[in-house]
Structure 1
């Protein structure tokens, strides 16, 4: 990322795409190692849960309609599986975000970087990201609950005005959800590269995205469409492709995984670049020595932990 700060503020959608490629190409080895350690398991869990959920639903239907058994135990096991799925998905999302953002920041600030160092620093970054992710999930939960309750009340009102109001609310809800998603993704980068985390990181992200919202929206919309498309292909042609041979479905599943992994990696790289673009757009100096010092603090904590473990 050798582009001057003044130039970065003018980057549009395709400029950010090109900048992402320029970063990844010379550092392919470190990004491949991060992919194998964190992003590949993340994508595997994301797709595998579709197949496992299908097995659970078939089991529940068989017990209920064929054997006329009580399925409360089956539903309890399914809920526990979903909780485990979201837990592991969250863990690998945190680790992947931490590793990619830290690596790009090291490249940008000309710090030495190796996979061993990334593996040592990521747990230090991860602790801060947990707080931000909890805040994000709480805010999203409140937003969804309020929106759903309001729309249900409109539907039950049963008059023409309430129906029109329902569709207006639906559009507002979708726009608001997209906005929150973009702010959330940028807040993850802010948490790693600045002192802010939690609510402060969300506020910082909200201020940074002003003026570059539509650029970020275009990038994340395209990436999410691709991810949704892969999810749909796996769902219909691998998990629920009844007439297809077993090995054909396995092949489709492997193909979906092979396409999803680089897309997730590229998305994490782009959200980090968008952070630097937004900083430049608001004329906030990207001080490389300060950034390098901030990253060095993570490494210092890692070294202290190593020394403590050696003493133990």
Structure 2
């Protein structure tokens, strides 16, 4: 018999303003402990050295994680010019240097090639799986991999500041699967001066903003208190980009049992991915099929 998970059946989202120096997994563990939650996960890993929005899903909110990981995200970061590292960030070892330094106009011109639909090769030290093994584990073993390029949509890549000849501060708004370290690496190569990420901050991710974030110190201070519970955002926040359908009472019952349920009102077209609510609570996510919602995920709230 499977062991029953300890903790409360608590559901919702907590936005943590992740500090540098900790892993995303350790933040999830800390939040789960602080809220005494049975189940927790996060919507998009941040490297240990990175800071900013780490959205933690508790309980039934974990069923909505894909809708956040698929959403647009904003990153502000500093690129250190003149050196390449084996990790493409400041945590790694310098493997090559260059004397050239581009002008601001040259940087601006080079950024154009990284906007729109691009192809991006992940860093050697990344969570990409190679025959079931994480790339970073292979890289730590001293093996270099030929990683395949992956598509990425970059909505915005802007030069924010040039503190000195060795640094450029940028903002990138992109879709799912973006590696800021790859942008820094490839930009440095395009400019002929090499480059890596000096620091990185995720400003927002889908519906979650850094301004909503709670520090890890505050999580620890408020652990196991009603005050921390009050910081939770509802499950349906992650569904903001999907149309909401109001369900008939009998439709809500059918959906909770995994069956198609009747919809009272809809602002969607047949075939659209939507979520259905009853009495202010999310019941299911699924496909709207002319008067009914066909569920793919059902919430037990």
Task: Return the TM-score normalized by structure 1.
Answer: 0.26
Q: Which has the higher contact order (CA 8 A, sep 6+)?
A: 1
Q: Kindly indicate which of the two structures has a greater share of residues assigned to strand.
A: 2
Q: Kindly indicate which of the two structures has a greater share of residues assigned to helix.
A: 1
